[in-house]
Structure 1
């Protein structure tokens, strides 16, 4: 067995949000103001995000899951409808389809990008298909030109699950600045966080008003202060506490995205290719934001993934699995899915491991991770130090 140092450095998580002292002070100001729920900070964050994306309407919610669900409702998706998406995502992507009474229809992943395979989408379209939910896995965008042309050809709405792609671009245009409806998540493990939260980029004022109704009980204020309930609504509004965190994050997002890219370049330089991992696509066009760094275990070690994860944790390295192919979860098996349905997604989901990547990492942390990977793989292959 390779030796594990008795003086292991502090635990290195696979991700960690960075919140500066100025932001912490601004959150304190909100707490002292007496206005904690949706208010001026939320308005300021919506305006700042709108400016970032070319003046498009932006509305906040308390999670990226909520923004996806409300986007489907804005599109009129409901019982009897079908929505095409990928099995390689967090389960929320399919759960929101079920929440509105529709059926998620999975399409296999592209083996290179690991996103939905655009070549297979047309085969999955039926007369019941109402929308597409593409997912930018690890922040690498789906080809927006092909995607939007496909949607226009079949008159489908597109709800972009851009939960992981804040700061990503497509051909020089920021994700969120074009397209149909675009949903972002601000969960703590995302590149920009509000603690919990999300936002939806909409097409016009009418859709923005509809979202406002849906996110807060369907309540509208009439002239003179009277209330009216125009439609069903959720309880999905963001607080000013969360928005204050988001405003602070927005000040440094471009710097932190550049840092992520530099760390990934270091990973590629230091990685031992002889280990036999399939590496993430290098994104030579600079489209992605490097939300996560996810090599795929060699196929000969796929059945030992739990042991690999444990070996990394023993060495003080945080790891994750993002994501298992969701159609293999028991809920979707009960709907008729099973092994072999989407072989590319299953292979990726079986072998993926998420390694540490966040802006506060030191260059030395990357070397530490690479060394740990080499040691753990040696152990799994039965090598002796």
Structure 2
């Protein structure tokens, strides 16, 4: 394949303002645990409407911190979708908990509330719902279930920064919401993530967890003129740098425009695939989709994938159901656990989508997909 012609399924968009924001921090006194981290947290909270933000080294770190803050312990069960990246379930294992996989809606591939309800046992402690591809889940139904059974509710919003559910931005729909800033996501910090919440106790627990379980940061001690600190919990080094947060804050200013562009491009795909064998996933009528991924279904998925790749088009598959990975199979999870997810996995294909795609690029993808999908 020729790198000059290759079209990836997603990529970052970096401009001169982003570069200037990073170089400003490089010339400053603080490269990590400094004021740029706090500013980025405040900016993302202002954008989402959440009260507290805790920036971390990755979305995975933020998920792990959420499980810690919610006191997930050995013997606890956490219900999660299998149609996601492995981190959504691995974070439960990190705390010694047990992932319980509930199936998805066949049209949207979002966690099915009825399947969640059917999976609850006396050991269930929390639910992790993923806004798959950037489309918010049925948060009213999931909150009702969580309230009825006294469960914590976590939104894995790593696909959904900028999305809205019934007019509310993702970030205010669950006890904790987690975002990712990987380069293929809506905004990037290189690697990075953040957990947001309206609960001060949960925010304090996650902030403690990201810094070795130590009560204060170097920047906080510098501001107060003190030196004393204590380690009160067994935490991790999940800190994020000021360099990364400066980039994230600069990117955040452009997010709304990028979401609009992603929706515009998704609309072009939708129109092109009408009445073809390439079927876009269903879209709920009460949401603003963030379109991190543009996912279609076709019964000839593997053949379509190969032909697109031959044409230097970076189609991808999101995802292998988590419990089908070898590690989970070794833990006793078996094929057939979530039949809707398994049937979808055999057909789903992710097509390239990012805000900087040019018109000739997206036409090339559409024409190739239609020719191979009919």
Please, what TM-score do these two structures have when normalized by structure 1? 0.91
Post-superposition CA distance 1:146-183 (Å, at most 9, x none): 11011000000011111110001110010113431111
Deviating more after overlay: 367-376 vs 255-264 = 367-376
Name the residue aligned to 1:169: 164
> Rg larger in 1 or in 2?
1
Residue 356 of structure 1: how far off its partner (Å): 0.6
Counterpart position of 2:293: 292
Q: CA deviation at 1:364?
A: 2.6
Q: SS of the residue aligned with 1:18? A: coil
Mark the CA change 1:148 to 1:34 in structure 2 (over 3 Å): closer, same or farther: same
Q: Could you tell me which of 217, 224, 230 is aligned with 1:228?
A: 230
1:382 counterpart residue number:
none
Cα pair distance change 1:220/1:138, threshold 3 Å: same
Unaligned runs of 5+ in 2: none
Deviation at 1:19, TM superposition (A): 1.1
- Over aligned residue pairs, what C-alpha RMSD do you find? 1.9
Give 5+ residue unaligned stretches, structure 1: 1-5, 379-385
- CA deviations on 1:282-341 (whole Å, 9 max, x unpaired) are 34434311111111122xx24xx1x43232122121111111111111112222222222
Cα distance in 1 for partners of 2:107, 2:173 equals: 25
Report deviation, 1:81: 0.5
Residue matched to 1:203: 198
Matched, 1:136 2:109: no
In structure 2, distance between residues paired with 1:269 and 1:152:
40
Q: Give distance in 2, aligned partners of 1:70 and 1:188.
A: 21
1:59 Cα deviation from its structure 2 partner: 0.9
Answering whether residue 359 of structure 2 is matched by residue 358 of structure 1, we say no
Name 2:186's counterpart in structure 1. 191
Q: Separation in 1 of the partners of 2:253 and 2:324?
A: 40
What secondary structure does 1:77 align onto? coil
- Measure, in 1, the Cα distance between the counterparts of 2:143 and 2:274: 38
The answer to whether residue 259 in structure 2 is matched with residue 257 in structure 1 is yes
How big is each residue's C-alpha offset from its partner over 1:172-215, in whole Å with a ceiling of 9 and x where there is no partner? 01011343111111111111211111111123333222212110
Once residues 152 and 234 of structure 2 are traced to their aligned partners in structure 1, the CA distance between those partners, rounded to angstroms, is: 22
Q: For residues 293-332 of structure 1, what are the structure 2 equivalents within 5 Å?
A: 293-298=294-299, 301-302=300-301, 305=302, 307-332=303-328
Task: Check 1:332–1:7 CA distance in 2 against 1; reply closer, same or farther (3 A cut).
Answer: closer
> Secondary structure of 2:280's match?
coil
TM-aligned CA distance change 1:208 to 1:282, over 3 Å: closer
Which residue is equivalent to 1:68?
Answer: 63
- Deviations, residues 47-67 of structure 1 (Å, cap 9, x unaligned): 111212335111100011111
Distance in 1 between the 2:283 and 2:96 partners? 38
| Candidates 70, 77, 98, aligned match of 1:103 | 98
Is the partner of 1:354 in helix, strand or coil?
strand
TM-score (norm 2): 0.94
Deviations 1:56-83 (A, max 9, x none): 1111000111111111111111101000
Task: Look up the match of 1:381.
Answer: none
1:26 and 1:244 in contact (8 A); partners too: yes
Aligned length: 367
SS of equivalent to 2:212: coil
User: CA deviation digits over 1:245-297, x for unaligned, max 9?
Assistant: 101111100000000000011111122523x2332113443431111111112
Measured in 2, the distance between the counterparts of 1:206 and 1:246 equals 25
Residue 87 of structure 1 is matched in structure 2 by: 82
Q: Distance in 1 between matches of 2:2 and 2:61?
A: 44
Aligned counterpart in structure 1 of residue 340 of structure 2, from 341, 344, 350: 344
Which portions of structure 1, spanning 4 or more consecutive aligned residues, are displaced by more than 4 angstroms?
Answer: 6-9
Cα separation, 2, equivalents of 1:287 and 1:16: 21
Distance 1:128 1:8, change over 3 A: closer
Asked if structure 2 preserves the Cα contact closer than 8 Å seen for 1:8 and 1:315, the reply is no
Aligned-pair CA distance for 1:363 = 2.5
Q: In 2, are the aligned partners of 1:266 and 1:363 still within 8 Å (CA)?
A: no
Matches of 1:245 and 1:358, distance apart in 2: 18
